[in-house]
Amino acid sequence: MLYLVPTPIGNREDMSARAIRILSEADLVLAEDTRTSRPLLQHYGVDTPLRAYHAHNEHGVTPQLVEDMKDGATYALITDAGTPGISDPGFLLVRACREAGVAVSCLPGPAAFVPALAASGIPCDRFHFEGFLPHKKGRQTRLKYLAELPNTFALYESPHRIVKLLGQLAEFCGEERTACVAREITKLHEEITTDTLAGLKAHYEAKGKVKGEIVVVVAGK
């Protein structure tokens, strides 16, 4: 069996008791980056063996992992933060397990765009999740598409690109479109700011260098 186990996006108190139990009972924990995950598991007293599973090796190692699970192994997949498969490795393994008849279970848990949506004050009864935009090829095509959506949409962005992204969103959606930037969600210096796209761009230009993963929520047209 394969378990998809969400891990905290910042605050370690957000790890569920069930997640800790599954990680402790699994035969192996597959981790996006073992250097990140090992201290996390040690914090919860989990000593299950770790093996790297990420975008650079998933095609090569997936067939053998599936065979192991068909033979009775139980594996748990985690990423650096959040829910596996949501803008992180996981889809390829899940699909292979489904095709091979291996059971897959995903525990409920953290995903950065959910608290950002809920805390933004922007309608979230219907929304589009875009994840990361392409850096170059296809970026403008996606921005044009998103600008015309009638419903709220959510993006992920790195801190050193946030001003550029807000400028591009203002260009395609209009400077007065309401949006929210959520940064360092669940952490000590959490910042959730809702304003116009022009106002947010000015805020982050003045702020200078920022840290932490970022979710941008933009109101629909």
Which tens digit of pLDDT belongs to each residue from 10-55? 999 999 999 999 999 999 999 999 999 999 999 999 999 999 999 9
| Beta pairing, strands 214-218 & 178-183 | antiparallel
Q: What is the Cα 129 distance to its own chain's centre? A: 11
Say if pTM beats, i.e. exceeds, 0.85: yes
Cα angle 185, 188, 190; round to 5: 35
Alpha helices, DSSP H, located in the chain? 17-25, 34-43, 58-70, 91-100, 113-120, 139-147, 162-173, 197-207
Residues of the chain with pLDDT under 70: none
Which tens digit of pLDDT belongs to each residue from 103-118? 999 999 999 999 999 9
147 contact partners, CB below 8 Å, separation of at least 6: 169, 172, 173, 221
- What the chain holds in terms of domains, given with CATH numbers, is 2-106 (3.40.1010.10), 113-218 (3.30.950.10)
Q: Single out the residue of 53, 39, 8, 45 nearest to residue 23, CA to CA.
A: 45
| Beta pairing, strands 2-4 & 104-106 | parallel
